[in-house]
Amino acid sequence: MQKSLMGTHSGIVGVGSYLPEKILTNFDLEKIVDTSDEWIRTRTGIEERHIAADDEATSDLSYNAAKEALEMSGIKPEELDMIIVGTVGPDYAFPATAALVAHRLGAKNAVGFDLEAACAAFVTGLTVGDGMIRSGLMKNVLVIGVELLTRISDFTDRNTCVLFGDGAGAAVLAPVAEGEGLLAHFLKSNGAGGEFLIQPGGGTRNPATRETVEKRMHYVHMDGQEVYKNAVRGMVEAAKSVIEQAGYTSNDVDLLVPHQANIRIMEAVRKRLKIPAEKTVINIAKMANTSSATIPICLADAVKEGRLKKGDLVLTTTFGAGFTWGANLIRWSF
């Protein structure tokens, strides 16, 4: 815990990402389920996805992304006050993956906890981290978005297994000058949509039994069209809210970083917000949908590709299971 920093602004001061080495292409999937590269590319924008090695788990992907983000930030692991791991797939039901990541990083002064908000977990983590820094309770916060969705994908169900990939992204939050950093947030949930995107088995409603496994309840189940139409609506609502809260218009946005679930969703969102394609980060072709990891991976890509500079106005927007959706508006600080 630090001395009071009440009123301090927080911003992202380092980003990192990690994608497992193994790649599964659409052509590989053609050999597994009744699908085609053409269907997957035209309906989703996906060409290939990364798959974690058998001996890789959530904390391993998290650690690699976090190390890169910390190196970029210049902040040492022992200077971290909090580590948030946003994921639907922790190493274990408990202990928290964030505690394991903290230990491996040597973040011995940090509290670590996992945050479950599906595809909105990174955006939610940035909001929580910003709140802790602004309130003066914490100074340096590491936020990770990480998923091994291929571990819970049913490779007999072509409706879902072609959509997902594994990966991790991370961001370090720290105090920044006034007017920089996280300017506005939007978060909302509606559990009425819970049934449309769900891993029904393994929790307290349907504890894991031979029967739940035989019924394939430990895999992702999704009503794609229901999620699709709510995603476009939710991402636009969240994005418009943060732009308005901060007193800007979408013309002021330098970079749109949408959750990468489907190229058609991102295009619809971008067009409704009237943001040009060249100001939008799209990496779904090579990474597929990595849920909470898509936005931090895109931010890390944008930095590596020189698409982000100090002072740029960055808009994130996301939608996922819950339903839960949200956005952040960020004045980039490095």
Q: Residues with catalytic annotation?
A: 119, 259, 289
223 and 198 Cβ atoms separated by less than 8 Å: no
CB nearer to ligand UT7: pick between 117 and 162? 162
Nearest residue to 234 (alpha-carbon basis) of 188, 293, 193:
188
Least distance from C-beta 135 to ligand UT7, angstroms?
31
CB nearer to ligand UT7: pick between 101 and 284? 284
Least distance from C-beta 101 to ligand UT7, angstroms?
23
Strands 181-189 and 324-331: antiparallel
Q: b/e per residue, 114-153, with b = 16+ CB within 10 A? A: bbbbbbbbbbbbbbbbbebbbeebbbbbbbbbbbbbbbbb
CB nearer to ligand UT7: pick between 204 and 225? 225
DSSP 8-state symbol, 119:
G
Least distance from C-beta 232 to ligand UT7, angstroms?
9
CB nearer to ligand UT7: pick between 116 and 244? 116
Helix (H, G, I), strand (E, B) or coil at 286: helix
Q: At 27, which amino acid appears?
A: F
Nearest residue to 212 (alpha-carbon basis) of 132, 296, 152:
152
Binding site for ligand UT7 (CB under 6 A): 35, 39-40, 43-44, 119, 158-159, 162, 224-225, 227-228, 231, 261-262, 265, 289, 291, 320
Is the dihedral angle over the CA atoms 164, 169, 175, 181 positive or is it negative? negative
CB nearer to ligand UT7: pick between 72 and 293? 293
Least distance from C-beta 246 to ligand UT7, angstroms?
26
What is the rounded distance in angstroms from the CA atom of residue 254 to the CA atom of residue 235? 17
> E-assigned strands of 110-209?
111-115, 141-148, 166-176, 181-189, 197-198
Which run of H or of E encompasses 82? strand 82-86
CB nearer to ligand UT7: pick between 35 and 212? 35
What is the rounded distance in angstroms from the CA atom of residue 17 to the CA atom of residue 50? 13
